[in-house]
Structure formats: C-alpha cells, structure tokens
C-alpha cells in the first residue's frame, strides 16, 4: 500500500508540473521511513503480566487495537525546479 501511495503522489506532482509548464522535472527525496510495528503476542503477554503484577488488575486494562502516530502527515508542494526542498 505504501508503494502505491508514494507512486500516486509522484504521479500527481509530475502531472501538476507538466500542466504548469515547469522547466524541470520534479525530484523526490524520502526520509524518516521506518518499517511498520509488528506487535508480538508473546511480548504483549509478558509485559501485560509484569504490569499487572506491579500495578494490580484494576490499573491494567485491555484496549482495542488502534493505529496511532506521534506525528501527523504533512507535506509541502513547491514549484517544480524551484530548488526548494520539502519535508514531510
């Protein structure tokens, strides 16, 4: 899925640059890419047991899994060939 999203972003940016008649093709630089977290059930069980032993059963509760991030997705688009780098 990630490859499809990146390919789509690049396709859209190239199309916008072509439509605007920019003098250069856009360049793309990616950073801060990490593999997805793969939670181990065995590790989760070990940590849950230790926290329950330390804090008591009332302090440790089961939660529904959810996707989360410490950063929101952001991007900036600058004119193609402007020499300005964008960060996401």
pLDDT tens-digit readout, 29-71: 887 777 777 778 898 889 889 999 998 888 888 887 777 665 5
Is residue 85 classed as helix, strand or coil in its secondary structure? coil
pTM: 0.42
CA-CA distance, 60 to 52, in Å (whole number)? 6
Dihedrals φ, ψ of 70, to 5°?
A: -90, -5
CA-CA distance, 31 to 6, in Å (whole number)? 12
Is residue 33 within 8 A of residue 88, CB to CB? The reply is no
Give the single-character DSSP code of 75: -
* pLDDT the model gives residue 79: 53
């Amino acid at each position: 899925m990630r490859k499809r999203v990146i390919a789509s972003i690049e396709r859209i940016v190239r199309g916008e640059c072509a439509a605007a008649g920019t003098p250069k093709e856009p360049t793309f630089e990616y950073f801060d890419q990490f593999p997805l977290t793969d939670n181990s059930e065995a590790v989760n069980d070990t940590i849950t047991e230790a926290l329950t032993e330390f804090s008591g059963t009332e302090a440790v509760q089961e939660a529904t899994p959810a996707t989360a991030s410490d950063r929101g997705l952001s991007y900036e688009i600058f004119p193609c060939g402007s020499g300005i780098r964008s960060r996401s």
